[in-house]
Amino acid sequence: MAKKISLLLAIGFLLWVYITFDGQRYLSVDFFRDFYLQQPFLTAAVYFCAYVMATALSIPGAALLTIIGGMVFGLWTGTLLVSFASSLGATLAFLVSRFLLRDWVQEKFSGHLKTINDGVKKQGGSYLFSLRLIPLFPFWMINLVMGLTPIKTSTFYWVSQLGMLAGTLVYVNAGASLSNIEAFSAAEILTPTVILSFALLAIFPFIVRAIMGRLELRKLYSGYKKPKQFDTNLIVIGAGSAGLVSAYIGATLKARVTLIEKFQMGGDCLNTGCVPSKALIRAAKAMAEIKKASELGINVAAPEVDFTKVMGRVQDVIKTIEPHDSVERYTNLGVDCVSGRAKIISPWVVEVDGREISAEKIIIATGARPIVPPIPGLDQVDPLTSENLWQLDNLPERFLIVGGGAIGCELAQAFQRLGSQVTLVEMQAQLLPRDDRHVASFIEDSLKAEGVRVLTNYAAKKFSTCSDHGSVSLSSDSEAELEDLEIEFDRVLVAIGRVANTDGFGLQELGIPLQANGTIATDEYLRTCYPNILACGDVVGPYQLTHAASHQAWYAVVNGLLGRFKKFRVDYRVIPQVVFTDPQIARVGLNERDAAAQNIDVEVTQYDLSDLDRAIADNDAKGFVKVLTKPGSDSILGATIVGPQAGELISEFVIAMKNGMGLNKMLSTIYSYPTLSEANRFVAGEWKRKHVPERLLAILKRYLQRNLRG
C-alpha cells in the first residue's frame, strides 16, 4: 500500500510541475525547432523523454507531439523517435495502471470486464493489435484499460510498437509535409503533398478497419472451402414465425430460398403456442360471460363444459389457420420447402438428412422449447408443458401450474373457468415479475376472485406420486417466513420459461458463440460471428414473442441479402407485449419498474377505466391506462393498459411512439363515442390537465369577465 501511495504522490508531483511551469509551451514546434538548430542530438533526446513522460502520464496531446516530431525531425527520424517513445510511454502507463488498479478493478468490476478479459485470453496480442490499428478510442485509454487485463507486459510492448507504427507514419508524414510550408498561405497549404497527407490522415482509420476486417474474415473462414457456385441464395432453418417471415421476404426480394423444417410448418405459435392457447382462452371467456349474464338481466341455466369438444375446437382452429403456413403456400411463393433435420457443416453448406445444400447466406430460426427443471420426482408425474398440453383428453379436477409468467397466468384463468381447481405457484414475490407491482397485484386479485389459488414466494422442491394423483412439496426462500406446503394435484403444467434450440444444428462445431442465457450471440445486425450466417426469433431473443420474431426476420433477410450495400440495426424501441388474461395486460416501452432500474426520470399519468362510458355499458369497467412521459413533456416513453381489449388499444401508443407523436396530438384526435379507445384520449387529457397554463388561463378569465355584471 505504501508503494502505491508513493507512486501516486510522484505522479501527482509531476503533473503539478507540468501545470505550474506551463509544460504545454515546451510541447510546441517553435521550442523544438529553435533547440534543434543548436543541439540536434540533445533535442532528439529531450523530445524522446518528453514524449515518454507525456504518454506515461496519459497527458492529452500525443497526436500533436507526433506531428511536431515530423515537422522538426522529418519523416524517418521522427517516425523512429515517436515509435519507440510512444511504445515505452504506453508500457509505463500500462504498468502504472496494473500496479495501482488491476486487483481492485478486477474484483469490483469483473463482470463488466469479462468481454475484454475473454478477448485477451482468446485472441491474445491480436486483440490489442486490432485496437491499436483502429483508433476508435484514445491510445492513452487503451494503455490504462489493458493494464487491468491479464495480458503480458512483453506482449503489450511489442504489439503496441507494431500496432502503432502505421498510425505513427501517417501522423509524422503529415507533420513533415507541414514543415515544408514557409508561409501559411492558401497556396502553400493546399499543395498536393499536404492535401494527400491530411487526406491519408482522415481516411487512415477506415483503411485499417477494412484491412483488419479482411484479415479477420480470412482467419475466421480458414479451413472451409467456399463453393464457387451455390444451390440457393438463402437457406432458412426453422419454419416458425421467424423462419416463415424470413422465407417470405426473401422470396419477395426475388431470391432463391430454401426453407428447412424437421417437424411442423408454423412452429410453436401455430401448433402449440399462440393459436391453441387463444382458442382455449376464448372458450373459457365464453364460460365466464355466461356466468355473468345474470348481471345483465339474462337468466340462463347452469352451463356445462364438454372438454373434449373444447379441445376439438382448438385443433379445428389450428387446422383452419394451417394453410397460411403450409408447404403448398410457400411453394407457390417460390420457396423450396425441405423436410428434415438440418445441420450446418460449413459457413455455406447445410446438411439435411444426408443431402448437402449450399447457400451464400444462412438464417437460423430454430426457436425455443419449454424449460423442464431438474426437480426431484418431476419426471415421475408426467408433467405437461405448453407443447404437450394440447393432447389432454380430460379436464384435470385439480390442476397445478408452476410458473406465474404470462403463460402460467393465462392458462390458470382459462382452466379455472373451464372447471378445474387451479393452484398457481410462483417462486418470486409477484406474478408477472417483469411488470409493475400494482399491475401484477391487479391480475392476482382477478385470478383469486375467480377461485384460483395463488401462491407467490414458493418454489417446488420435490414431486411424488400416489395411486391416482401427484403431490408437490413447496417451500419459501423469501424473508416472508412462509410455512412449507404439500399440494395434491391430478396434473401439473410447468411454465417457467423457454430455452433456445441450439443443439444439433452444428453451431458448436463451427464455434458460433452463445449468450449466458443460451441464445445465439449476434451483433446489432443479427449476424453471428460468421457475417453470412444470421439468426432471428426466439433462438436470439431478447423477446420470445411471435411479432418480435417477425420483426427481426425483416432485418435478418435484408442485412443478409443486401448488407453489402446497406445494413440496418435492429430496432427494439417499440415492441408491444400482451398478456391475454381477463382483463388483458398490454405494454410498450418503459414501465415504472424499467424506469427505476435504468435511473430514468418519468412522469406517470393514469386514467381509470371505471369512469369510461363504454366500459360501464359493457359491464367491464375495470382496469386503467398508464402513460410514462418525459417530465414536463408530452413525449411518450411507455404505456401500460390493463383492461378489456388492451392488446388492441396498445397499438395506438405503438404508432405514436414509433412516429414521435406526443399526448397533445392524441388529445386533439377525434375518437368515436362510445368506444374503449377513448380511454387513450382521456389519459392524454389527464396529462394535459396537470399541465394547464394557469397564468394564461387567469388572463383569459379576466378578459372574459370584463363586461359581466357584478
Closest CA to 519 of 375, 356, 298, 368: 368
Vertex 503 angle, CA 499 and 508, to 5°: 120
The band of 130, judged by pLDDT with boundaries at 50, 70 and 90, is: low
What is the model's pLDDT at position 186? 45
Give yes or no for a contact between 284 and 311, defined as CB atoms under 8 angstroms apart.
no
Confidence of residue 7 (pLDDT cuts 50, 70, 90): very low
Fold of 232-370+500-562: FAD/NAD(P)-binding domain (3.50.50)
Q: Average the pLDDT over each of 24-38, 73-87, 248-262, 432-446 and give the range with the smallest value.
A: 24-38
Residues with Cβ within 8 Å of residue 537, at least 6 apart in sequence: 238, 240, 241, 242, 243, 365, 366, 367, 549, 552, 553
Mean predicted confidence (pLDDT) in 228-256: 96
- For 455-470, letters b (16+ CB in 10 Å) and e give bbbbbbeebeeeeeeb
pLDDT over threshold 90, residue 136 = no
pLDDT digit string, tens, across residues 466-489: 878 899 999 987 776 788 899 999
Q: In the predicted model, what is the mean pLDDT of residues 186-208?
A: 60
Percent helix, strand, coil in the chain, to 5, is 50, 15, 35
Q: In terms of Cα–Cα distance, which of 362, 357, 458 is closest to 404?
A: 458
Predicted confidence at residue 655, as pLDDT, reads: 96
Give the pLDDT of residue 696. 81
pLDDT digits (tens, 9 = 90+) for 274-295: 999 999 999 999 999 999 998 8
pLDDT of 36 above 90: no
Alpha-carbon distance 545 to 552, whole Å? 11
| Residue labelled with grid coordinates 388492451 | 646
Residue-wise pLDDT for 76-103, tens only, equals 888 888 888 888 888 888 787 777 665 5
Model pLDDT for residues 386-413, shown as the tens digit of each residue: 999 999 989 999 999 999 999 999 999 9
pLDDT at 262 exceeding the cut of 60:
yes
Q: Which residues contact 609 (CB under 8 A, 6 or more apart)?
A: 615, 621, 622, 623, 624, 625, 643, 644, 679
332 pLDDT tier (thresholds 50, 70, 90): very high
Least confident of 17-26, 318-327, 496-505: 17-26
The average pLDDT across 311-320 equals 96
What is the residue extent of each domain of the chain?
2-217, 232-370+500-562, 378-496, 583-695
- Calculate mean pLDDT across residues 234-244: 96
Residue 149 confidence (pLDDT): 73
- Which residue carries 405448453 as its cell? 386
pLDDT score at 468: 81
pLDDT at 329 over 60: yes
The 10 Å CB-count burial string (b at 16+, else e) for 646-671 is: bbebbebbbebbeeebbbeebbeeee
Higher pLDDT, 230 or 190: 230
Residue-level pLDDT at 691:
87
pLDDT at residue 66 greater than cutoff 90: no
The per-residue pLDDT for 317 is 96
Q: Where residue 184 falls among pLDDT bands split at 50, 70, 90?
A: very low
Say what the pLDDT of residue 532 is. Answer: 95
Mean pLDDT, residues 445-464 taken together: 95
Q: Is 60 exceeded by the pLDDT of residue 520?
A: yes
Q: How confident is the model at residue 430 (pLDDT cuts 50, 70, 90)?
A: very high
Q: Which architecture does CATH list for 378-496?
A: 3-Layer(bba) Sandwich (3.50)
Task: Give percent of the chain with pLDDT exceeding 90.
Answer: 60
Segment 197-210 shows an average pLDDT of: 65
The pLDDT confidence band at residue 168, using thresholds 50, 70 and 90, is confident
pLDDT digits (tens, 9 = 90+) for 623-677: 999 999 999 899 999 999 999 999 999 999 999 999 999 999 999 999 999 999 9
pLDDT in tens, 301-310: 888 999 999 9
Q: pLDDT value at position 35?
A: 59
Per-residue pLDDT for 44 more than 90?
no
Record the pTM. Answer: 0.78
Q: Using CA atoms, how far apart are residues 1 and 11, in angstroms rounded to an integer?
A: 16
Cβ-contact 47, 32 below 8 angstroms: yes
By percentage, how much of the chain surpasses pLDDT 70? 82
For domain 583-695, which CATH number applies: 3.40.50.620, 2.30.110.10, 3.40.50.40, 3.30.390.30? Answer: 3.30.390.30
> In whole angstroms, what is the distance from residue 480 CA to residue 475 CA?
11
Q: What is the pLDDT of residue 154?
A: 80
CA-CA distance, 249 to 100, in Å (whole number)?
Answer: 55
Q: What is the mean pLDDT of the chain?
A: 85
Instruction: List the single range of 99-113, 334-348, 446-460 with lowest mean pLDDT.
Output: 99-113
**Each residue of 523-543: pLDDT tens digit?**
999 999 999 999 999 999 899
How far CA 554 is from CA of 41, 242, 245, in Å, comes to: 64, 9, 7
Q: Which residue has the higher pLDDT, 19 or 221?
A: 221
Do the domains 378-496 and 232-370+500-562 match in fold? yes
Which residues lie across from 636 on neighbouring strands?
629
Mean of pLDDT values over 112-141: 62
Query: What is the reported pLDDT for 4?
Result: 46
Secondary structure E strands in 595-656: 603-608, 624-629, 636-643
Instruction: Evaluate if residue 20 carries a pLDDT over 90.
Output: no
Instruction: Please compute the mean of the pLDDT values over residues 591-606 and round it to a whole number.
Output: 94
The reported pLDDT for the residue numbered 478 is 74
| The pLDDT value given to residue 609 | 96
